[in-house]
Chains A and B, each alone.
Chain A
Amino acid sequence: MNALIALLLLAPQASQENHRAVFVKAVDSVVGIRVMATLGERSGSGVVISKDGYIVTSYATVPNGADQIRVYLHGPRLLIGKLVATSRDHELSLIKVESKVDLVPIELGDSSEVKPGDVSYTLGNAANCIIDNDAASLGVGIISGAYTLRVAKANSTYTGPVLETTAAVNIGMEGSPLLDGKGRMVGFVTLNYSPSRFLGNAIPVNLLKPVLERLRSPDGGTPATLPESQEPGYLGVTVADKQGRVAVEAVDAGSPAARAGISKGTILTSLGGASLKNAAEFRSRLKDLKEGDLLFLKVEDEGQEAELKITLGKKGR
């Protein structure tokens, strides 16, 4: 019967077809990038996020001051890129290329839908395979975990939620996408290249969407560090003067301060390297900071001193 034959044709061999389908869908949106940076030549991966040529890559691949940005696309094609903006807290840089032909942007997925156990793909410039051979490298595995990194270790500047994957993440993959079973980007691979990380970590794409929107300024962009955020930075503490010191009276649950371990009674001694005279000074200096800014805060807790690095959030998040 025709239906039975059709049924048999649809029988499982499907996994390898799915790997293939993900590869074919995403390969035009993944690039290899080579630059000259102050510490020498670097190379890594990038993801096309708009057809007019915006490409996101890892800050480690294209840091501030990077020059001669060569972008290798599937084809192969070679385009020269310009650094538009960077966000060190998310370990990313945004570059722009000029192309006569529309580029193929990656389809963004929804990282909140990603669950451990789900199939997971990496696709990038492993060991310069895109730059040298026009052969983006596909790895397959699963999402092995979803959790929060609370401590930034050597070479990494990101703390916050991450997805963990068993798909191969290796040298050259910084700046590459983590793809779901339908070939949509659900994570951004930048963190693995710290020796202190144990498995492939990726920043969930939902956290990057607002950052990318902010970095793409409407006038086409000029190289900048962290463009102005409209949101005032949110820490989540209420402070008061206590015996000549700045003491924490209350901490908002789930706030950046709470996550950093600040609690009622913690003494704030210095902000950004400068000691704090009183609560009013702390409040006024905090007012000038924006969402995403990095705060270096020295605190005292039960006699113990500690230096905290906190990324300011947005109120209500």
Chain B
Amino acid sequence: MNRAALALILILARAQDPLAEEMAKALRSIRDTVGKSVVAIEVVRGEDPEGDTGGGPAAAHQDYYNRPLGPVTGTILTADGFILTTAFNVSGEVKRITVTTADGRKHEAKRLGADRKLDVALLKIEAKDLPVLPRAKPGEAKVGDFVCVVGRGPDISVATVNQGIVSALTRRGGTAIQTDVKVNYGNVGGPLVNLAGELIGITAHIYPRAHWGQSSGVAFASKNEEIDKVLEDLKKGKDIAKPVQGPWIGALLGEPRAGVEGVPVDQILPNSPAEEAGLDSGDVIAAVEGKTVKTIDEVKAALAKKKIGDEVELTIRRLKRDGKTWEEKKMKIKLAENPN
């Protein structure tokens, strides 16, 4: 009896980390099956400030602000060649879109419609019998569930697979699920699937701050059901705009801090009206057109009343060199259209 037990214990002891081993197998299986429905997308653009990388250390930082060059990911929607990816992935002055399916074949793709609220775009290639992913039941996913994202690139012949959990179920006005899977410029547009390989949604909503590098761990997938609602319009080539955001100055604002009245500026986006006007990160916006502002919403509301092209006077407070006293400054900013 004892010898048998000992033998079994030794056999079991060899399965050192059953969870990691099981997970590795499951992930490879997902990569292989789901990967068949994941395509690489290469976009050729005209003059595109978002895609210029240059080279060398200074330009390296430029990379961070601009769209990185390289292939992006898409998900096959139908067997006859409708493909979903993010609106961001095919934005800009697009000249040519080439889709490479998992079998290595290249297809010219036509860009149909895009929904900027969901950040999805519909492409069409000429194909048939393409593999389509089974869908997860709507509402089945729970916070804490293990999920994966499959992507293509930087080497498009290889599929990548990342794993994480569902972080929240209701985001972006209920249109998206949040996950801590590492989603970035390369794999965005790829499918978010559960461990059974069923499609939950399309990863979307990349923005430079959170998704450069290994990614901040905050990622979103637009849900199947939401995409279904706009599919017919996308097929017709409609471009559905994001709900009006108002004119843009290109300054990322932070939460007001104790002891300093006004709204602090966290970051100035390059080539923006704010940058041109000389606004600096660290400045605090005290008034818009003479009217005191105390919250981000108040700033947005004041700007929303204006039109693109209007000049707006901001009263700002800037910390002097001594690090102790604040000086007040007035500056005029010309409102532009939000390029995002």
Complex contact B12–A198 (CB within 8 A):
no
Of B5, B158, B186, B213, most A-chain CB atoms within 10 Å: B213
> CB < 8 Å: which of B24, B159, B186, B212 contacts A119?
B24
Residue in A18, A144, A196 whose beta carbon sits within 8 Å of that of B160 in the complex: A144
Number of interface residues of A (CB under 8 A): 43
A194 to B213, CA, bound (A): 9
B244 interface contact, C-beta 8 A: no
Are A14 and B162 in contact, with the CB atoms below 8 A?
no
CA of A234 to CA of B21 in the docked complex: distance in angstroms? 40
> From residue 155 to 173 of chain B, which have CB atoms closer than 8 A to chain A?
155, 157-163
Binds A, one of B60-68, B87-95, B107-115, B229-237: B60-68
A10 and B25: CB pair below 8 A?
A: no
B258: interface (CB < 8 Å) = no
* Bound: A116/B163 CA distance, A: 11
B9 touches A117 (CB 8 A): no
CB distance from B68 to the nearest CB of A (A): 6
Contact of A148 among B20, B63, B155 (CB under 8 A): B155
The answer to whether residues A142 and B19 also contact, given A198-B185, A199-B182 and a CB cut-off of 8 A, is no
Q: Are B13 and A198 in contact (CB under 8 A)?
A: no
Q: Mark A126-144, 1 if CB is under 8 A from B, else 0.
A: 0000000000000001101
The reply to whether A164 and B25 contact each other, CB–CB distance below 8 Å, is no
Q: Judge whether B325 is part of the interface by a CB distance below 8 angstroms.
A: no
Q: Which of B5, B21, B214 has the most CB of A within 10 A?
A: B214
Q: Which of B59, B154, B161 touches A154 (beta carbons < 8 Å)?
A: B59
Q: Quick check: is B2 within 8 A (CB to CB) of the other chain?
A: yes
A252 is an interface residue with CB less than 8 A from chain B:
no
Q: Cβ of A153: which chain B residues have Cβ within 8 Å of it?
A: 53, 55, 60, 63
Instruction: List B contacts of A108 (CB < 8 A).
Output: none
Residue pair B159, A10 in contact (C-beta under 8 Å): no
Contact B25 A117 (CB under 8 A): yes
Q: Is the CB of B161 within 8 A of A145?
A: yes
Tell me, yes or no, whether A12 is within 8 Å of chain B by CB.
Answer: yes
B204-240 interface code vs A (CB 8 A; 1 in, 0 out) = 0000000011110000000000000000000000000
Other CB < 8 Å A-B pairs besides A147-B154, A195-B213, A199-B214, 8 of them?
Answer: A2-B2, A12-B19, A142-B161, A145-B155, A149-B154, A166-B214, A196-B68, A200-B214
Per-residue contact bits, chain B 133-158, to A (CB 8 Å; 1 contact, 0 not) = 00000000000000000000011011
Instruction: Tell me whether A112 is interfacial, beta carbon within 8 Å.
Output: no
A77 at the interface (CB under 8 A from B): no
Total chain B interface residues with beta-carbon distance under 8 A: 49
CB contacts (< 8 Å) of A198 on chain B: these are 68, 70, 154, 184-186, 212-214
Whether A142 and B60, one on each chain, are in contact in the complex, defined by CB atoms closer than 8 angstroms, is no
A119 to B23 CA separation, bound complex (whole angstroms): 8
With known contacts A117-B27, A117-B161, A154–B63 Cβ distance under 8 A: yes
On chain B, the residues within 8 Å of A194 by CB distance are 60
Q: Which residues of A contact B25 (CB under 8 A)?
A: 117
Select one of B26, B70, B160 contacting A164, CB under 8 A: B160
Report yes or no: B68 in contact with A155, Cβ–Cβ below 8 A: no
| A295 is an interface residue with CB less than 8 A from chain B | no
List of A residues within 8 angstroms of B159 by Cβ: 145
Q: Assess the B28–A117 pair: CB atoms within 8 A.
A: yes
Given contacts A14-B17, A145-B160, contact A117 B182 (CB under 8 A): no
State the CA gap A118–B19 with chains docked (Å): 11
Q: Is A243 an interface residue (CB 8 A)?
A: no
Query: How far is A123 from B162 in the complex, measured between Cα atoms in Å?
Result: 19
What is the CA–CA distance of A29 and B210 in the complex, to the nearest angstrom?
Answer: 33
Is A116 touching B31 in the complex (CB atoms < 8 A)? yes
Q: Which listed residue (A12, A141, A149, A196) contacts B63, Cβ 8 A? A: A196
Is there a chain A Cβ closer than 8 Å to B270's Cβ? no
Residues on the A chain within 8 Å of B63, using CB: 153-154, 195-196
> Judging by beta carbons under 8 Å apart, are B158 and A147 in contact?
yes
Query: Which partner residue on chain A sits nearest B213 by CB separation?
Result: A198
Cβ of A7 within 8 Å of any chain B Cβ, yes or no, is yes
Question: Which single member of B12, B24, B60, B163 contacts A196 (CB below 8 Å)?
Answer: B60
Query: A116-B31, A199-B182 are contacts. A6–B214 as well, Cβ < 8 Å?
Result: no
Chain A's nearest CB lies how many Å from the CB of B76?
20
Interface flag for B323 (CB, 8 Å): no
